[in-house]
């Protein structure tokens, strides 16, 4: 049924870069056969899923939305892909994304933009716009995203779906193409809080192949999603997440959610996190710095594209020609920003200062979580903007992640879930919930209450 739905609508939506029709049918049949033989089935047996094209899939293309990896077929599965297979999930295919997960609109994909199913002339968020659009257009009931600065939560917010960035280190990064290793985190996307929890439980947990993976039990997220009792919980509202640039209808729906939480028995506490104002600036130094180092591996020798290798050129020239042709403008901008910020003479002023701000943001959260159990805010300052509106204005594009970035810098857990439609444009608004590291279950408890 989902393959038929993809055939019917994806020409318009363009959520998928690759649909694995045969593979999906074979997986579904294998689940049926297992069931017939009376074998034990995985926890998500037979449930179709759309996988962001940033996770390696053995025998299936993995492009990361970039020309530089076009035609590359990974020889191995990411740990997350492996876990999906163990859960008996049916992987429908790979979803569109901003190149190397750099962007907030999916317009930076080398393979063309994705439309927002609510209004195809608008962006579905980014970088994981393919996954969120696949959910919102009922092409898949589950999807996977990655969140470096908001790429799971912001697409969820603007498409009226649920997206969770688990605690940093909760979901293995092995086989997840690196953008900014200290921020990147894979996580579940779904249409309901409980669906997200079921997927969360299937993909999270320690992985010895990822040195930053947390070796602790996964918080009881499914139990929390089934519970939804917020009586006596303390919920923080950060005053820095409001003001200029926030759409009126977004604030209205957010304030209604806070009222709802109060009615359900939560205690609302106003907080100030003064360093959050500098989060965006710090992020756009740290993320490009790490990207400039991570993307050095795309040298025309190891993977995918190779340009100008006609026997007359040096390896260095082939690398330069390949990178010039293979990377898009946003990726080049980030590599240049990052190499500049890391260069001797500027390192302390840029990268060093950004790391100090990162520590201050972490301390703001630590102080907040001494007073409250979770923090709530709008996920993103505005609803989905029109495709093209911010494409030539990187600063305006970067503002989409104003509320999501602090959690990546601090490494804690955060969720976005729908909280109604903005009255002025009828488009979905996202509520963000943030919990301390390894308290991911609180997201699901509060999410289930307001859903
Ligand atoms: N929009 C942010 C960026 O462009 C975040 C991307 C992400 O989370 N992968 O870097």
Is the shortest distance between the CB of 401 and ligand 1 below 6 Å? yes
For the chain, helix, strand, coil in percent to 5 are 40, 15, 40
The residues carrying an active-site annotation are 52, 127, 151
User: What is the ipTM metric for this complex?
Assistant: 0.97
Q: Which two tokens stand for residue 279?
A: 């989060």
Overall average pLDDT of the 25-36 stretch: 97
- pLDDT category at 71 given cuts 50, 70, 90 is confident
Domains in the chain, CATH or no CATH each:
2-278+355-450 (3.90.1300.10)
Positions of E strands within 134-184 = 142-146, 162-165
Contact 142, 370 (CB under 8 A): no
Place of tokens 């840029």: 350
CA 103 to centroid of ligand 1, rounded, Å? 5
CA 179 to centroid of ligand 1, rounded, Å? 9
CA of 150, closest atom in ligand 1:
8
Tell me how far CA of residue 409 lies from CA of 39, 42, 167, 413, in angstroms: 44, 34, 11, 11
Any residues with CB less than 8 A from the CB of 141 and at least 6 apart, and which? Answer: 2, 47, 48, 49, 135, 190, 191, 195
Contact 190, 162 (CB under 8 A): yes
Distance CA 140, CA 46 (A): 12
Q: Which two tokens stand for residue 96?
A: 């569109």
Distance CA 7, CA 190 (A): 20
Task: Using alpha carbons, select from 122, 125, 120 the residue that is nearest to residue 109.
Answer: 125
CA 26 to centroid of ligand 1, rounded, Å? 34
Is the shortest distance between the CB of 148 and ligand 1 below 6 Å? yes
Is the shortest distance between the CB of 147 and ligand 1 below 6 Å? yes
Is the shortest distance between the CB of 163 and ligand 1 below 6 Å? no
pLDDT tens digits, residue range 267-309? 999 999 999 999 999 999 999 999 999 999 999 999 889 999 9
CA of 151, closest atom in ligand 1:
8
pLDDT tens digits, residue range 367-412? 999 999 999 999 999 999 999 999 999 889 999 999 999 999 999 9
Contact 181, 163 (CB under 8 A): no
- pLDDT category at 175 given cuts 50, 70, 90 is very high
- CA-nearest residue for atom 10, ligand 1, is 102
């Amino acid at each position: 049924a989902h393959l038929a739905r993809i055939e019917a609508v994806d020409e318009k939506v363009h959520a998928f870069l690759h649909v694995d029709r045969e593979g999906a049918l074979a997986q579904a049949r294998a689940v049926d056969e297992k069931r017939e033989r009376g074998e034990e089935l995985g926890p998500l047996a037979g449930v179709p899923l759309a996988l962001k094209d940033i996770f390696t899939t053995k025998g299936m293309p993995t492009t990361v939305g970039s020309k530089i990896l076009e035609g590359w077929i990974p020889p191995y599965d990411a740990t997350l892909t492996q876990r999906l297979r163990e859960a008996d999930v049916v992987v429908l295919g790979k979803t569109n994304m901003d190149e190397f997960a750099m962007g907030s609109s999916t317009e930076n994909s080398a393979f063309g933009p994705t439309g927002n199913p609510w209004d195809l002339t608008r962006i579905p968020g980014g970088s994981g716009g393919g996954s969120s659009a696949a959910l919102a257009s009922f092409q898949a009931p589950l999807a996977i995203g990655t969140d470096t600065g908001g790429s799971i939560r912001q697409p969820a917010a603007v498409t009226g779906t649920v997206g969770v960035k688990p605690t940093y280190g909760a979901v293995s990064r092995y086989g997840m193409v690196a953008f900014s290793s200290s921020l990147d985190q894979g996580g579940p996307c779904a249409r309901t809080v409980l669906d997200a929890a079921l997927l969360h439980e299937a993909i999270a947990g320690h992985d010895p192949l990822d040195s930053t993976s947390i070796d602790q039990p996964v918080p009881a997220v499914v139990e929390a999603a089934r519970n939804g009792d917020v009586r006596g919980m303390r919920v923080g509202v950060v005053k820095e997440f409001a003001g200029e640039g926030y759409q009126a209808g977004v604030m209205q729906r957010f304030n209604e959610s806070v009222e709802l939480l109060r009615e359900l028995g939560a205690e609302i506490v106003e907080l100030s996190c003064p360093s959050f104002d500098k989060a965006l600036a710090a992020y756009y130094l740290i993320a490009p710095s790490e990207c400039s180092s991570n993307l050095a591996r795309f040298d025309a020798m190891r993977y995918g594209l190779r340009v100008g290798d006609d026997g007359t050129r040096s390896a260095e020239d082939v690398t330069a020609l390949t990178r010039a042709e293979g990377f898009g403008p946003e990726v080049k901008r980030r590599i240049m920003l990052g190499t500049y910020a890391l260069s001797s003479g500027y390192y302390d002023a840029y990268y060093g200062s950004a790391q100090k701000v990162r520590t201050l943001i972490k301390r703001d959260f630590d102080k907040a979580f001494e007073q409250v159990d979770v923090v709530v805010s709008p996920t993103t300052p505005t609803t989905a903007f029109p495709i093209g509106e911010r494409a030539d204005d990187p600063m305006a594009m970067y503002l989409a992640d104003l509320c999501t970035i602090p959690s990546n810098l601090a490494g804690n857990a955060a969720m976005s879930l729908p909280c109604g439609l903005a009255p002025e444009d009828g488009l979905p608004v996202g509520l963000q919930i943030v919990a301390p590291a390894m308290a991911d279950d609180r997201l699901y408890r509060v999410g289930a209450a307001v859903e």
